[in-house]
């Protein structure tokens, strides 16, 4: 069974262990929005990097969920036509995230982040949660193979999807 997940205002941490993820909004400010509009990828990457350092906005949001020592990140811009990613678990990392940098998510079709329990391999055995392209500033925090979950990004069918993705390690 496939379930479409909608954003909840204040999703409890219990959703993290039940579904493998939860969502929260971050106030990213106007400087990041400007970098996205101007396609200033180098400045955007540096800004996201600083937000992943101790005392940074992303770091502080994630440390409420799990203990970790460091965060790696990347910017991911996927354009249509695209192809599905593969199921993988980022097993050496304790937590992962995807931060939506999409200013007009309604103009994007496809590109969902899919999450499932790792031990199930078919759609008929377990729910697959498909998290469609979310509004700007929405942080998806999700579990990795460390907690028996895996994920993949589905093909972008229309438009361009921009996220900052990252992984927390011990």
DSSP 42: H
The range of the structural domain enclosing residue 81 comes to 2-169
Give the pLDDT confidence score for residue 122 in this predicted structure: 60
Give the pLDDT confidence score for residue 14 in this predicted structure: 64
The number of domains in the chain is 1
Give the pLDDT confidence score for residue 119 in this predicted structure: 73
Q: Give yes or no for a contact between 89 and 144, defined as CB atoms under 8 angstroms apart.
A: yes
Look at residue 24 and give its three-state secondary structure: strand
Give the pLDDT confidence score for residue 53 in this predicted structure: 97
DSSP 122: S
Two structure tokens written together for 58: 């992303």
Q: Which residues pair with 159 in a beta bridge?
A: none
Give the pLDDT confidence score for residue 146 in this predicted structure: 85
Average pLDDT per consecutive 10 residues, the chain (170 residues; last block may be shorter)? 38 69 92 98 98 97 91 95 86 92 96 86 70 96 89 94 95
Q: HSE on the CB side for 58, CA within 13 Å?
A: 28
| Domain CATH number, residue 37 | 2.60.120.620
């Amino acid at each position: 069974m496939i379930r479409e997940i909608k954003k909840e205002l204040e999703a409890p941490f219990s959703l993290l262990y039940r579904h493998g993820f939860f969502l929260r909004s971050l106030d990213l400010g106007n400087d990041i929005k400007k970098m996205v509009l101007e396609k200033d990828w180098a400045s955007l990457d540096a800004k996201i990097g600083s937000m992943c350092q101790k005392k940074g906005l992303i770091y502080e949001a994630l440390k409420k969920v799990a203990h970790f020592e460091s965060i790696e990140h990347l910017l991911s811009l996927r354009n249509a036509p695209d192809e599905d990613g593969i199921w993988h678990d980022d097993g050496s990392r304790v937590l992962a995230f995807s931060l939506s940098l999409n200013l007009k998510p309604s103009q994007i079709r496809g590109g969902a982040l899919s999450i499932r329990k790792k031990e199930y391999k078919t759609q008929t055995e377990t729910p697959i949660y498909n998290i469609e392209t979310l509004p700007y500033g929405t942080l998806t925090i999700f579990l990795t193979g460390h907690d028996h979950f895996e994920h993949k990004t589905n093909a972008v069918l229309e438009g361009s999807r921009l996220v900052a993705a990252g992984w927390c390690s011990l």
